[in-house]
Structures are given as C-alpha cells and as structure tokens.
Amino acid sequence: MDVPWIEQDQKNIDEAMATIQREFDYSGSTFGYRRVNERLNKLWRSAYNFLLDKYNNKDLTVEEVMRTLPDYIIKEQFLKKLIERRSPRGLEISKINKGNRAKQTSHSLGSKSLAQKNYETEQKGLNDIEI
C-alpha cells in the first residue's frame, strides 16, 4: 500500500509478472503484460481505498483509528494513506470527486440507450405542441 503498483520498481513488477505467467500464458504479447499490469494497479487502489473507507472513522483521531486496525494491515502504510486522505488537499479532492459523482447519470433505462431515450423524449415533446 505504501508504493502504488504503477510506481513499483521493475524488479518487483517482473517478479509479480513471473508469478502470474506461471498460471496464465500471455507470452509473446506486450498487450497481455500491459493488461495484467493495469488490472493489478486497479486492484491495488481498490484494496487500499476499501481499507481506508472501512477503518477511517472521522469521529476518531488518527491515533485512535490506528489502534482499531486488525493485525493483518501494515500500520505504517495505512498511517501514510490515512494522513494523506485527511490532509486539506485530500479533503479537497474528496469534495471535488463527490460533486463529480453527483453529476453522473445512472443508466436505469432498461434496454434503451440514453441517446434513444433522449430522442424519444424530444419527439414526445414535439408531438405535444399544439399548432
């Protein structure tokens, strides 16, 4: 958790890829290597964000949060991410991201695409106009 996957040194990346390659054959393909690398980076971010969301109780101080962590979490790494998230910059980023998520339109239109639904709404509006 201390060093993001994308910033790992080449030796660590090669060791991880060798382990993966023993299970999956992607030899001869740089696409496969890149795809695995991208996926591991995403899983890495998801894992530490999940832990931060689970254990970062905003009502507690950083020290109190650290005392509540289970043994399997590396305390030094978690502390670094926790301080980063609670910093003014981290709080500002969180506020911006929350606003951006609120602007997103969820797709709950069934089998129709958003474009198709918009087109039908426009047509319905045009048909309702009396001349």
Q: What is the pLDDT of residue 60?
A: 92
Q: What is the pLDDT of residue 130?
A: 56
- Give CA separation, 54 vs 17, 67, 68, 87, 98, in Å: 29, 14, 11, 18, 18
Cβ neighbours of 5 (radius 10 Å) = 17
Supply the pLDDT for residue 114: 78
pLDDT at 62: 92
Which pLDDT score is estimated for 71? 87
**Encoding tokens for residue 64?**
């109190």
Quote the pLDDT of residue 34: 83
131 residues of the chain, pLDDT tens digit each: 466 666 778 888 888 878 877 777 766 678 877 888 888 889 888 888 899 999 998 899 999 999 999 888 888 888 998 999 999 999 999 899 889 988 887 666 677 777 888 888 888 876 665 55
pLDDT of residue 126: 66
**Whole-number pLDDT of residue 58:** 87
Query: Within a 10 A sphere around the Cβ of 39, how many other Cβ atoms?
Result: 12
